[in-house]
Each structure stands twice: as structure tokens, then as C-alpha cells.
Amino acid sequence: MALIEAFSSVDTVVIWVLLPLLRMLTVLLLALRKRAGWLVLLVEPAGALVWMAASGGFSFAFLLLPAVAMYGWWRWGKRAADGFPAVHSAQREDWLAAAAFVVLTVVVDCIQTLPMMMMHMTGVSVIVQTLLVNALTMLLYFGLARGVVEAWWLGIVLSLMGLTNAIATPGSAGPGVIWLLEGLTMTVLSGLLYLFGWFRWRAARAQTTVS
């Protein structure tokens, strides 16, 4: 009975099941260095933009992820000798690009998201955590778009943060015990996918170095 009640809301299923599965599909495709992963990444922000337009709202913060996805699609059009997008260890230009991108992400999030969160009397710790998760998520995909192997570490960190948050605050994983278990399962699976991506890309980098 509890299971039926948990899945009775379409919105709840979309937020806590379909979207996490879509994100995991994105991570899997990127781990396999499939260019289609960037198109899958566009689905969620495109839906959010359509929903916001229908409700008469708009936020520039929602344009960051589509921009990164298009950037990744463009960069991955260039193939290495093995027929896949090239991967490499973080270089000086990658660090500089990442620093500039993080600043841009934080500024946009602060301008668009911070006032709304303060309006709803959101606690400081929640605001900081939200900004940190957003920045790490954007930096993760930005690094993957550039073919940086170490970018997968950010995904592992995000999974650990999500796991800690789900255990410490069970209500954040959805309504009820079923959604807590679902949140933990999805977070663990995502973490395993990030590890898989790191191993795959590290092996590809090593092979490229040998060649």
C-alpha cells in the first residue's frame, strides 16, 4: 500500500525516479565517450525552461547547463585516433578555464537564485550547499566537455555529498521510507557510474600516452 501511495503522484515519480535515471543515462554515455550523452543532458534543462516559460518565469541560471551541453557536443565533434573524443589529464589551461567558469557559475547563481532563497527565508547552510552543488555539477560537465579525466572526481564527491545528505536528512530524499531507499539507491548507482567513468577515461588516457 505504501508503495502504491509513493508512486501515486506523477510529479513525484518524475522528480525522484525519471530525472535521476535520465542523469545516470547521461553519465553512462559520457563515460563511454558517446557524443549523444550531451543531447540527453539537454532534456532536463529544456523541460525546465519550457515549464518556466509556461508559468511566465525565466532564469538565466537555467541556461548554464544547456550551454555546457552544447559546448560538450561541439568539442566532442573532434575525434582522436581511436575514433572517440580525446581525454587527458588536467593542464594549466584547463585549470584557468575551470576557475573562470566557476566564477561565472557562482555569479549567475547568486544573482538569480540567492535572492529567491533569501525571500523564502532559506538557511545559510542550505544556500551554501545549493551554490556548492550547482558549482560542482557545472564544473563536472565542463571538465568532461574538455576531456579532463580528473573531472570524474567531482562526480564522486557529489555522490558522497548526496549520500551523506540522504542519511543525515531523510526527508530530503522524498516523502517516506520508500523514497529514502530510492534516494540512497540512485545515489549509490550514480557514484558507481562516476567511478566507472573515471576508470574508463583513465584507461583511455593511458592508452593514448602509450600510443
pTM, to two decimals: 0.85
Locate all alpha helices (DSSP H) within the chain, ordered by sequence.
2-6, 10-13, 19-31, 36-54, 64-75, 92-112, 114-119, 124-145, 151-168, 177-210
CA-to-CA distance for 49 and 27, rounded, in angstroms? 22
Question: Is there a contact between 110 and 131 (Cβ–Cβ < 8 Å)?
Answer: yes
Write down the pLDDT at residue 63: 84
pLDDT by residue (tens digit) across 79-135? 877 789 999 999 999 999 999 999 999 888 887 776 766 666 567 777 788 888 889
- Which of 197, 180, 206 shows the shortest CA–CA distance to 33? 197
Mean of the per-residue pLDDT values of the chain: 82
Three-class DSSP labels, 167-207: HHCHHHHCCCHHHHHHHHHHHHHHHHHHHHHHHHHHHHHHH
Whether 86 and 78 have beta carbons less than 8 Å apart is answered as yes
Query: Contact at 8 Å (CB) between 23 and 190?
Result: yes
Average pLDDT over residues 13-27: 80
pLDDT at 74: 95
